[in-house]
């Protein structure tokens, strides 16, 4: 793997780290399987790209993309809470609607940002760093800052209340927590993070495309699971940052699969190789624990 490719992999992994944190918030914290992210990733990208092309300030455009995606999360929450539509179904409805909305926002299936200013432009050439380092550092700062903020949030009274809602609604309610408000807030936060990831992806890769959100949920979930299987901890900081690490590892697996052609694999084997590598990442901690248990048993005997 070349240095450029390695740094590029980190860059994309870090961006999808924000997706993983969003997915962690819904699936794990709120116990609300939310597939909206496939649409909100694209929505964040679409809104941001369209505004940038219109000449809006890049930071404002990114903020707008994030907020738009957060609103998509609110729609899913609303369908579920107001009309009792099953959470999974509510999120699929929003995701499906977003496909059309994204096309409408962009006015066409693909908005190009090559040659447009992006959020990276103000940082280009800073400290004399080559572009490829600057990009990684920029997205690392975004992802880690986002992660720390979310971890901090989950440790506040409000965040703890949100975790209680996902764990035991009745108990939460009995302790004065307004359950619905927490679900709205959680889905907005989750989809906002995913939309931010979409906005960053569009700007670092030069385009927003109507198909770019496909499979976001799978990648996000894989990252969450990889991260959590490697780091068993109760600390919110460790858990949230492990989502980012999981995402980077997932991308490294893809990268290794891309570089596996010398083993006789072809391009179409990519998904299988990625799946095998991810499976290995999941199996390893279990095997390690079993081995440790065996060692301990042997010592006792």
Which run of H or E residues covers position 111? strand 110-112
Residue 174 to residues 152, 169, 209, Cα–Cα distance (Å): 25, 9, 46
DSSP bridge pairs for 207: 112
Quick one: which segment of 60-68, 83-91, 125-133, 285-293 binds other proteins (CB under 8 A)? 125-133
Task: Give min distance, CB of 82 to other proteins, in A.
Answer: 16
Distance CA 258, CA 141 (A): 27
Looking at residues 155 to 194 of the shown chain, list those that interact with other proteins (rule: CB under 8 A): 155-161, 163-164, 166-168, 170-178
> According to the binding rule CB under 8 A, does residue 6 interact with other proteins?
yes
Structure-token pair, residue 22: 């969003």
Judge whether 257 and 277 are in contact, CB under 8 Å. Answer: yes
Looking at residues 261 to 280 of the shown chain, list those that interact with other proteins (rule: CB under 8 A): 261-262, 266-268, 270-271
Residue 68 to residues 37, 42, 102, 189, 192, Cα–Cα distance (Å): 12, 11, 11, 11, 8
DSSP 8-state assignment for residue 109: S
Residue keyed to tokens 């609604």: 169
Structure-token pair, residue 23: 């997915």
Residue keyed to tokens 């800052």: 145
Applying CB under 8 A, among 67, 148, 258, 282 the residue interacting with other proteins is 258
Judge whether 31 and 40 are in contact, CB under 8 Å. Answer: no
Binding mask 14-43 for other proteins (x = CB under 8 A): --x---------------------------
Residue closer to other proteins by CB (options 72, 223) is 223
Structure-token pair, residue 65: 């993309």
DSSP bridge pairs for 208: 111
Residue closer to other proteins by CB (options 90, 253) is 253
Binding mask 82-111 for other proteins (x = CB under 8 A): -----------------x---x----xxx-
Structure-token pair, residue 91: 């999120």
Task: Give min distance, CB of 214 to other proteins, in A.
Answer: 7
Quick one: which segment of 10-18, 81-89, 220-228, 279-287 binds other proteins (CB under 8 A)? 10-18
Quick one: which segment of 3-11, 79-87, 138-146, 284-292 binds other proteins (CB under 8 A)? 3-11
Quick one: which segment of 188-196, 214-222, 280-288, 289-297 binds other proteins (CB under 8 A)? 214-222
Residue closer to other proteins by CB (options 266, 297) is 266
Task: Give min distance, CB of 255 to other proteins, in A.
Answer: 6
Looking at residues 48 to 77 of the shown chain, list those that interact with other proteins (rule: CB under 8 A): none
């Amino acid at each position: 793997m070349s240095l450029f490719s390695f740094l590029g992999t980190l860059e994309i992994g870090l961006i999808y780290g924000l997706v993983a944190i969003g997915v962690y918030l819904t699936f794990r914290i709120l116990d609300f399987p939310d597939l909206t992210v496939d649409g909100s990733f694209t929505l964040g990208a679409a809104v941001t790209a369209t505004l940038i092309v219109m000449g809006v300030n890049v930071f404002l455009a990114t903020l707008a993309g994030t907020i738009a995606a957060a609103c998509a999360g609110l729609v899913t929450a609303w369908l579920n809470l107001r009309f009792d539509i099953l959470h999974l179904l509510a999120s699929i409805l929003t995701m499906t609607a977003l496909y059309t909305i994204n096309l409408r926002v962009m006015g066409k299936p693909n908005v190009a940002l090559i040659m447009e200013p992006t959020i990276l432009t103000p940082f280009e050439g800073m400290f004399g760093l080559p572009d490829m380092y600057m990009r990684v550092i920029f997205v690392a700062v975004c992802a880690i800052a986002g992660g720390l903020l979310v971890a901090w949030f989950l440790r506040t009274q409000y965040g703890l209340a949100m975790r209680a809602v996902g764990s035991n609604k009745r108990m939460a309610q009995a302790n004065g927590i307004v359950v619905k408000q927490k679900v709205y807030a959680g889905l907005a936060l989750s989809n906002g993070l995913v939309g931010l990831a979409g906005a960053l992806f569009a700007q670092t890769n030069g385009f927003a495309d109507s198909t770019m959100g496909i499979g976001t949920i799978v990648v996000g979930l894989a990252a969450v699971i990889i991260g959590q299987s490697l780091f068993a901890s109760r600390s919110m900081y460790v858990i949230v940052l492990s989502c980012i690490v999981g995402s980077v590892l997932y991308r490294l697996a893809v990268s290794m699969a891309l570089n596996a052609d010398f083993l006789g694999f072809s391009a179409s084997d990519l998904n299988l190789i990625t799946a095998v590598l991810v499976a290995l990442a999941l199996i390893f901690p279990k095997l390690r624990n079993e081995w440790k248990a065996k060692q301990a048993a042997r010592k006792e005997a």
